[in-house]
Amino acid sequence: LSQESILEMRQELLTTLSITQGEAEELALQLRTVRDQFAELHMVYQSGIDEVLTKVTILQREFEATHEHSPIEHVTSRLKSPESLVRKIVRLGLEPHVPAVRKTIRDIAGIRITCSFVSDVYWIASMLERQPDLTILQVKDYVAKPKPNGYRSLHLILEVPIFLSDRTEQVPVEMQIRTSAMDFWASVEHKLSYKYDGEVPTHLRAELQTAAERAADMDVQMERLRAELNGSASGTHR
Ligand code: GTP
Ligand code: MG
């Protein structure tokens, strides 16, 4: 977030929030302070990602050792940039103070897990839920209850302790768990949404909804095939 982008943001603040020049100036300054303080906190959030990634790796390794193949297909992670953090603060109209921001914005650290089967989505979530050093702050089940646009995924906000030299920090990590079909859909929807600046034309929205239903059908079918694979009709694990 450069000096120019702060000035640019001040201009944006002036036009979007109807505040005075002086107030915008003040807010831009506060936001810059928040940005700088978060730059220092990056180390903490990155450590939160690392801790949770290790947990996922251990599950993966265990599964590979005992069952040949792991239900986890892909794992990616990302740290929200100070720039998009500041944008989110402005978008949500939050007080530009670090403690408040840390409480409210819980997707600074993000991990996404992709797996083959819907049952694996819940299996991974339950493995993590059972770990005594993780606290589940929130569960949003967009698999059971998809978003109106068709989006499906299981979202967890996990809290993990980070042990520093002189203190322990509790770090929230947003985890998205989805099947490959859900992931495929979400990545296309995200690109369209980006291209149309969030205002996807009606006919494309309808098409995305159909595609989402097809992806969900495919997940059901894959789950059936998986039951065959395991030699059981129930489709449950092992
Ligand atoms: P944000 O303020 O965007 O973080 O969302 P929120 O607080 O409403 O939380 P939610 O759990 O609904 O979404 C968090 C994240 O899930 C987003 O940042 C995206 O990565 C993903 N997501 C949610 N909805 C959609 C969607 O409709 N399409 C796509 N492609 N991704 C989505
Ligand atoms: Mg987000």
When comparing pLDDT for 24 and 179, which is higher?
Answer: 179
Q: How confident is the model at residue 191 (pLDDT cuts 50, 70, 90)?
A: very high
73 in helix, strand or coil?
strand
Specify the pLDDT at position 20: 79
- Tell whether ligand 1 has an atom less than 6 A from the beta carbon of residue 151: yes
pLDDT at 238 over 50: no
Percent of the chain past pLDDT 90, that is, above it, reads 70
ipTM: 0.95
CA–CA gap between residue 224 and residue 75 (Å, rounded): 24
pLDDT at residue 89 greater than cutoff 80: yes
Question: For ligand 2, a single-atom ion, which residues have Cβ within 5 Å?
Answer: 107
pLDDT digit string, tens, across residues 27-39:
888 888 888 888 8
**For position 235, what pLDDT does the model report?**
44
pLDDT, averaged across the chain:
90
* Residues designated as active site: 174
Region for 163 from its dihedrals, namely left if φ exceeds 0, alpha if ψ lies in -120 to 50, beta otherwise: beta
What pLDDT digit, counting tens, does each position of 40-77 carry?
A: 899 999 999 999 999 999 999 999 999 877 899 999 99
Distance 153 CA to ligand 1 centre (A): 10
Minimal-distance CA residue to ligand 1 atom 17: 107
Closest CA to 154 of 188, 124, 109, 194: 124
User: pLDDT confidence of 113, banded at 50, 70, 90?
Assistant: very high
Q: Are 168 and 203 in contact (CB under 8 A)?
A: no
Question: What is the pLDDT, as a whole number, of residue 6?
Answer: 61
Helix (H) or strand (E) holding 168: strand 168-179
Nearest ligand, CA of residue 76? Answer: 1
For the CA of 205, the nearest ligand: 1
Nearest to 112 by CA among 39, 186, 209, 220: 186
Of 89, 106, 147, 151, the one to substitute when testing ligand 1's pocket (max ligand atoms within 8 A of C-beta) is: 151
What DSSP character marks residue 178?
Answer: E
Distance between Cα 119 and ligand 2 center (Å):
24
Could you give the angle at which helices 82-92 and 21-67 cross, rounded to 10 degrees? 120
Atom of ligand 1 at shortest range from CA of 187: 30
> Could you tell me if the CB of 190 is within 6 A of ligand 1?
yes
The string of pLDDT tens digits covering residues 118-175 is 999 999 999 999 999 999 999 999 999 999 999 999 999 999 999 999 999 999 999 9
- State if residue 155 touches ligand 1 by the CB under 6 angstroms criterion: yes
pLDDT higher than 70, residue 232:
no
Average pLDDT over residues 179-184: 98
pTM greater than the 0.80 cutoff: yes
Predicted confidence at residue 152, as pLDDT, reads: 98
pLDDT of residue 181: 98
How far, in Å, CA of 43 to CA of 5, rounded? 23
Distance 24 CA to ligand 2 centre (A): 25
Is the Cβ atom of 149 under 6 angstroms away from ligand 1? yes
State if residue 103 touches ligand 1 by the CB under 6 angstroms criterion: no
